[in-house]
Amino acid sequence: MSTVVAAASSAPLTGKTLRVVIVDDAVVVRSLMTRWISAESDMRIVASLCSGRKALTFIERNTADVVVLDIDMPDLDGISTLRSLLQKRRGLVVIMVSTLTRRSAEISFRALSLGAADYIPKPDSAREVSTSLSFRRELIEKIRILGHNRQSRRRHAAVGAPGTAITPPPESYSARGRRSSVADETGAPARLRRFTNIAPRALLVGASTGGPQALMAIVEKLAPAIDCAPLLIAQHMPPTFTVVLAEHLSRVSGRRAHEADDGEPVRAGEIYVAPGGRHMRVVNDCDGVKIALGDDPPINFCRPAVDALFASAAAVWGAGSLAIILTGMGADGALGAEDIVAAGGSVIAQDEETSVVWGMPRSVAEAGLCSAVLPLDVIAPKIVHLFSGVRP
């Protein structure tokens, strides 16, 4: 049975309270998620439902900000439910929940392509769900950030006011001593750096929430750059999911993309994806640059971590490192970007307007580490231009 719980809490709903709907056919999992979310002061469970059909009925008659949607349900599967939800409520934040299986990974990628905001890997059993602190933390964090981000954009759209998104004119994208319209934490414009005069020897990309969609968009246009240098990617993803990501990247790029293997050589023309659950670094040895995978503790709660990849690349390629920070929550990549810049390399960040979450890109932009802050569709052409030998 389904349980609508809009009046479960005595705390009043405010304009900033997130209205959350849970859709999962497992009663224990629904109960756990409901309890966790209800404990947060800025969230309210407005419905806890056991099926996709009940979710569609509820959304037709009620308001919600975020829907947490299980992939596997008996009456209407997650993909079919997702399509109908987004048809009924344009802009609704839908977070998919799936187990760590090959099938679930494929379905999650399909969901992202259809408009899901993100996904969360779910432990296999209700017992494991109840004891997984990482699952609870990720659930709350993604609801909060994605939900409030939607509320903010909706408010700006309603009043017709511009948001804080950054869309500078094209001529201000590259740094020639000009000031960026990115504001630092004091409110003052952050200065963009000059690009290095050294041709890139390696392309490094870090991404998190919204990253798979962004990666697909830029990698399909990067063939000329990939032919000149290796592309190494640290995307916050669990095991199995990174295998599927690599396969998708291979198809859209026309170049070999794969989960990196420990000790394998790094060569131009190939795409290396950090395996889920392992840090990926590069090291120099007598035979050239090689991949070094590690099981050391998470960095910024992440493994793989962007900081680990960037820091090692700065040590190996120095000023020949070109780093890209795409959409994502948190600040992973900021310390590694410092290492890139200190070694003479360059950093490009995705802009706020085209980011699902402007956390990771913002952290490097506001730190003054970027040579450009660009919309997603401008990033690939800029990279190809840099690899062409024409210095900005």
- Kindly list the catalytic residues: 208, 236, 332
Reduced to 3 states (helix: H, G, I; strand: E, B; else coil), residue 55 is helix
* Dihedral sign of CA atoms 108, 295, 33, 147 in order: negative
CA 55 to chain CA mean position, Å: 26
Inter-residue contact 133 to 272 (CB < 8 Å):
no
* Dihedral sign of CA atoms 122, 127, 131, 137 in order: positive
CA 48 – CA 65 distance, rounded (Å): 14
CA 48 – CA 126 distance, rounded (Å): 16
Inter-residue contact 98 to 104 (CB < 8 Å):
yes
Q: Smallest Cα–Cα separation from 28: which of 168, 139, 131?
A: 131
CA 225 to chain CA mean position, Å: 23
Structure-block tokens of residue 140: 């709350």
Structure-block tokens of residue 43: 């969230």
Please name every residue paired with 352 in a beta bridge, in sequence order, or none if there are none. none
| Residue 3: DSSP 8-state | B
Look up tokens 């990033």; give the residue. 379
CA 178 – CA 349 distance, rounded (Å): 16
Structure-block tokens of residue 30: 């629904």
CA 185 to chain CA mean position, Å: 22
Reduced to 3 states (helix: H, G, I; strand: E, B; else coil), residue 79 is helix
